[in-house]
Each structure stands twice: as C-alpha cells, then as structure tokens.
Copies of this chain bind each other. A is one copy, B any other.
Amino acid sequence: MSTALPNTTVARRVPCEACPLRDNEHFRDFTPAELKFVSGFKRGELVSEAGSMILAEGSHNAQLFTLLSGWAFRYKTLEDGRRQILNYLLPGDLVGLQGSVIGEMEHSVESLSPVVLCVFQRDNLPNLFENHPGLAFDVTWLASREERMLDENLLSVGRRSATERAAYLIAFLYQRSEQVGQGRSSRHLIPITQQHVADTLGLSIVHTNKTLRKLASRELIRWHDRACEVLDPKGLAEVAGWDGLSESKRPLI
C-alpha cells in the first residue's frame, strides 16, 4: 500500500515574503504585520519523495503544515485494511490542523508526488489566535473550506453513480490544480493511480478501471502510467452534474 520513505527536514529556504504561492491571484494578500508573524511562525521546510507518509493516524505530536508544492492525500483505514481517501491536498492547503486543535490525528496523510511543506510550530497556534485575529479567521476559513469539500465528496460517494463519481472527482481535482497553477507546466496531469481513484470513490479497483475506460473512450480523459490527463474538464463536470468550484479568493497561511 504505502511505502514510508524517510523524510528530510531541511533548513528554511523560501522566506514567506518570497513565497511563490503569493503571486497567485487566487490567494488573498497579507498585511505586512501578518506576513511578518507567519514568517516567524514558520520553522522550516519538509521535503519528501512521492509515496511518503507525512502524518500518521493516531499520532499525538503531529505538526502543522502548509503544502508548498506537490500533491498529497488524507485517508482513513478500517481494521481489515479497507481504505477511504477523504480528500486531496494541493499547494496552499493546511495540513494537520486536527492534531493541533483536538490533540490527535484521526487520519493519515501521504504524498502522491515529491512535496515540500512549510512546517509550523504547533504550540504557537494559540499565539496566532491571540495576536492575529485576521489569521485566526483565515484558519477557520480554511477549516470551513475543507468541510465544504467533504460535504460534496460525501454527496458524491453516497448518491452519485460510479461514472458520475469518477467524472466529479477528476473535474474537481483538475479545477483545484488549475487554481494553484500546477497544470500549466505538466499538461493537466493528476498524479494518482487507479487504486487511489477506487479508494476515493468507494469502488473496487476493477470497476474503477472499467469506469475510467468509459470516460477515456468518450475523450474526456486519457490515462497514463500513474497519472490522469484531463482532456475535457467541462464535459466531466457536465457528466457529474457539478457546478464547479467557487471563484472567491482564499487565505494562505
């Protein structure tokens, strides 16, 4: 399933002031004071290869991260190994808030591609709430956004057909990827295997394969080795009966 590879914590490289994500129009601007605080909040960077475990279910000393680049996913498993992928993480997403707020992680996080994460000092979170209400609100905003995504996901798994579900998932990941500008360079490739798709949609791997081939035969996607190329994002959204993501600016911490 997941091959846990050694993570490497590296000394601070990218200063927040020069964070490449800040150029992106989809993120809201910081005040200079906020930027300064976040810069101090940041402890370093974590660089990992594809397929490494970033956070483990049950861990109590989990750190707080923001994904800087790459793809990852959150998941839970049952005793007998059945796995459910809950959501995907793209640049700008906050990781590990549960650990910081509740005290224990109830899901795991694993990378799909090489990733770089900003590491924050988690016991500094109360300080953030004390002194930077705007940032505190941003944290809540991000938690609320995650909830929205989960709601839509649950609707999908609970009530959409296999084809609709698959189309929704791929359209969803495509849009998110576009927003953070991952797509430009790499011809809209989503770095997942069919097993990931199956574990996201709550389907078997065999049926997932057949469903994806159907989408491929309709020229909506093309499947590559460990990656999905999106040919027709609008067509996918239409198959899924999905309106698409809202366009509003989001915070970045």
Would you call B137 and A126 a contact (CB within 8 A)? Answer: yes
Assess A97 versus B159: contact at CB under 8 Å? Given A76-B151, A151-B86. no
Would you call B136 and A147 a contact (CB within 8 A)? Answer: no
**What chain B residues lie within 8 Å of A82 (beta carbons)?**
159-160
- Nearest CB in chain B: distance from A73 CB, A: 13
Would you call A144 and B98 a contact (CB within 8 A)? Answer: yes
Looking at chain A's contact residues, is the secondary structure mostly helix, strand, loop, or mixed? helix
Oligomeric state, in number of copies?
A: 2
Number of contacting residues on A, CB 8 A?
50
Assess A101 versus B159: contact at CB under 8 Å? Given A148-B106, A153-B154, A154-B154. no
Give 24 A-B contacts (CB < 8 Å), ordered by A residue.
A74-B151, A76-B155, A84-B155, A84-B158, A84-B159, A86-B151, A86-B155, A98-B148, A101-B140, A102-B144, A102-B145, A102-B148, A102-B248, A104-B246, A126-B133, A129-B136, A133-B136, A143-B147, A150-B150, A150-B154, A154-B157, A157-B157, A157-B202, A159-B202
